[in-house]
Amino acid sequence: MEPPFKPTYIRAWRKERGVTLKALGAMTGLDHGNLSRLERGIFPYSQPVLERVAEALGTTPAVLISCPPSELAGCKGRTLSQDANDIESS
């Protein structure tokens, strides 16, 4: 059965960063049960939620919905650390 909402790459990014659902919930102020449903496409996401999760995971909302960590080099989205490195080097 297809999930009712478009799945995101939040779970992949969370695991890549070594963060548990409970820890991500604490970092974002969101219920870990809702985060689990969001990761599975059962719960809809909103821009404010994506922004909070992206900040906690050190990436951008666009990356969370378009690119898994393993394919970041081929994606148009960027992580916050990439942006910070570009600013520091200029």
pLDDT tens by residue, 4-62: 887 789 999 999 999 999 999 999 999 999 999 999 999 899 999 999 999 999 999 98
CA-CA distance, 90 to 32, in Å (whole number)? 39
Question: How far apart, in whole angstroms, are the C-alpha atoms of residue 4 and residue 29?
Answer: 24
Burial class (CB in 10 A: 0-12, 13-18, 19+), 57: buried
> Which alpha helices (DSSP H) does 10-60 contain, by range?
10-16, 21-28, 32-40, 47-57
Q: Which CATH superfamily is domain 10-89 in?
A: lambda repressor-like DNA-binding domains (1.10.260.40)
Phi and psi dihedrals of 61, rounded to 5?
A: -55, -40
* pTM for this prediction: 0.78
Q: What is the DSSP letter of 8?
A: -
What pLDDT is recorded for position 51? 96
